Structure 1
């Protein structure tokens, strides 16, 4: 089984995390 394609972002700050979440909306997911 192969995972679907996705974009990976690695923000350096919490502010950048929130910015990416706001930009990508409901489709965004956080991977820990």
Structure 2
């Protein structure tokens, strides 16, 4: 069974992970 609420939650998690990766790369570039 698919749970649409769970799928949308996963999408939000993926977006949060991508945002964290962008911030992490920016911090690395600033430190270099």
TM-score by length of structure 2 reads 0.38
Higher relative contact order structure (alpha carbons within 8 Å, sequence separation ≥ 6): 1
Larger Rg over CA atoms: 2
TM-score normalized with structure 1 length: 0.38
